[in-house]
Structure 1
């Protein structure tokens, strides 16, 4: 059986290499970028801004395909099973390396074995937002309320185990408080629930939260980074808010299926680095609340992805989410 499996794998790799060689210089047809989040959120904004410029540099279209659901595992599984030819790629967070397998039985892939790390693209601080009539105007006040009413203050997320849940759970642990987690099927309904006053707060990505905040339906209290973010200088960071050693950001990175040809990986890594240093791209990302954070090489990114994935795994284990989704 092992011999048959090894032979099949070798034949697949050989077929992909042959097809790649016959097809000429990469890329010679459109590339599909799978995103495991719905349109309008942080991942989607990064995907569309970077892929538009990436396509121009590569002289091929890069088509963003949103495949939300099951905590991004639907999208990840799709790419894990795709042909390793460089035409099906994935934009993902570090949860790919460990957290997904803890949370979802449907996650049949292995982060390190099923994917080829290519490049880190950008990161974003998250925003702590409360309903407009929330009685407190500071994080310190929010914590005091939570301590008076353990388990009563609620925070929404776009699903159990996803990054918006992990941010809230990590915040509660760091602050030493107990809050009620209210999961929704997606970022939009999660934030709308706070805007409607049905949930007390949320920890959201800037592209998701800012439009609702600007419309006056919720208020921003802080960023989830240790210090103030240059993107939101008027909002206090966590250290200033009385929570030391708390820093939660969400990073978006590019992956391909396992056994992606080395020449494809190198080209995508080099072009990603070039694109993310472009002033126009950086400005567009910052306007949406994201900061360009390119890696120079795929090897550099691989080391970072594995290390960061282990951190996410620990956060997930501590969040209480394990077992809630299976």
Structure 2
């Protein structure tokens, strides 16, 4: 009887493994959806579309984009967490919805560690602090001095509540008693447009969103976030070089891929493999360079470690900035 029971257990185990392998071999058999917590026109959307095109070519199935902006990324992450865990719904996101947002809202309808599987960090890049051309400041210290003499009239934008752009603005406003108004947007593109049009004083955004306005002279870059200058803006200093050495200004922006937590491991492995291959493809590398982004294509475990390392640092920034979801 015990031998028979053991045989049944082994049969079930091997049967499950065979099913998993078969699933991985068959996957994908239909289109895959990338959910993006931003509207069209910003860095996350551009990168999602770039990887969608390359991974579609690699996997032989269409990859479509579903933009779900708003609520600090909550809508997109909630939709992904509730999706069938079958590999056909994937999240492509910047760091804020998975790291920042849970610390800014009293509650969110997802738990990153419980509800998501890390697939790969796709790329990293600089974020730029920029002002409209009509703003007289030529550097960050000049911007803050101008804001000090125009209290109540200066506004800064962000691509959503709790994003890094929001935290930087809140930190500068609070710690220097500048009373600058926060204006949240559903994404980078409309924020950059308002900076260029003069409806917004300044903001922090990616070069993808700012590039058309930098090229036309409607927006002026004052500093870049992170520890190194942007390759495409060699004359623009880092925040540290501009005299702001606080660790709050050192993070660089990144974009990564996650899936619902219960997605079968063979499917996750396939997604990881294809995402990593796409990141190293000539087509993706060339296009990312035009966005001033560097390809990464990390292993899932490495991406998870990056999250675990960064999350407490951002939590401290949120506390010191006093930022809250409005």
TM-score of the aligned structures, taking structure 1 as reference length? 0.85
Aligned partners of 1:96 and 1:309 also within 8 Å: no
User: Where do 1:133-282 residues align within 5 Å?
Assistant: 133-149=134-150, 152-172=153-173, 179-245=180-246, 246-282=249-285
- Note closer, same or farther for the CA distance 1:23–1:258 as it changes in structure 2 (3 Å cut): closer
- Once residues 124 and 306 of structure 1 are traced to their aligned partners in structure 2, the CA distance between those partners, rounded to angstroms, is 19
Name segments (4+ residues, structure 1) moved above 6 Å. 17-20, 173-176
SS in 2 for 1:259: coil
Which of 300, 304, 307 pairs up with 1:305? 307
Please name the residue that 2:321 is paired with: 319
Unaligned runs of 5+ in 2: 1-14
Aligned partners of 1:158 and 1:186 also within 8 Å: yes
Unaligned runs of 5+ in 1: 1-13
Q: What is the Cα deviation at residue 77 of structure 1?
A: 0.3
SS in 1 for 2:66: strand
Structure number with bigger Rg: 2
SS in 1 for 2:236: coil
- Note closer, same or farther for the CA distance 1:261–1:273 as it changes in structure 2 (3 Å cut): same
Q: What is the Cα deviation at residue 162 of structure 1?
A: 2.5
Matched, 1:126 2:103: no
SS in 1 for 2:26: coil
Aligned partners of 1:96 and 1:111 also within 8 Å: no
Aligned partners of 1:97 and 1:112 also within 8 Å: no
- Note closer, same or farther for the CA distance 1:313–1:18 as it changes in structure 2 (3 Å cut): farther
- Note closer, same or farther for the CA distance 1:134–1:98 as it changes in structure 2 (3 Å cut): closer
Segment drifting more, 69-78 vs 172-181: 172-181
Q: What is the Cα deviation at residue 154 of structure 1?
A: 2.2
Aligned partners of 1:67 and 1:74 also within 8 Å: yes
SS in 2 for 1:91: strand
Provide the aligned length of Structure 1 versus Structure 2: 309
Q: What is the Cα deviation at residue 267 of structure 1?
A: 1.6
SS in 1 for 2:167: helix
Aligned partners of 2:24 and 2:267 also within 8 Å: no
- Note closer, same or farther for the CA distance 1:172–1:278 as it changes in structure 2 (3 Å cut): farther
1:113-134 superposed Cα distances (whole Å, 9 cap, x missing partner): 0001110001221111111121
Q: What is the Cα deviation at residue 152 of structure 1?
A: 4.6
Aligned partners of 1:155 and 1:168 also within 8 Å: yes
Segment drifting more, 45-54 vs 153-162: 153-162
SS in 1 for 2:110: coil
Please name the residue that 2:7 is paired with: none
1:238-294 superposed Cα distances (whole Å, 9 cap, x missing partner): 122111143132211000001121111112112222211123211101212322122
SS in 2 for 1:252: strand
1:153-186 superposed Cα distances (whole Å, 9 cap, x missing partner): 3212233323321232345568786533222344
TM-score of the aligned structures, taking structure 2 as reference length? 0.85
Q: What is the Cα deviation at residue 41 of structure 1?
A: 0.3
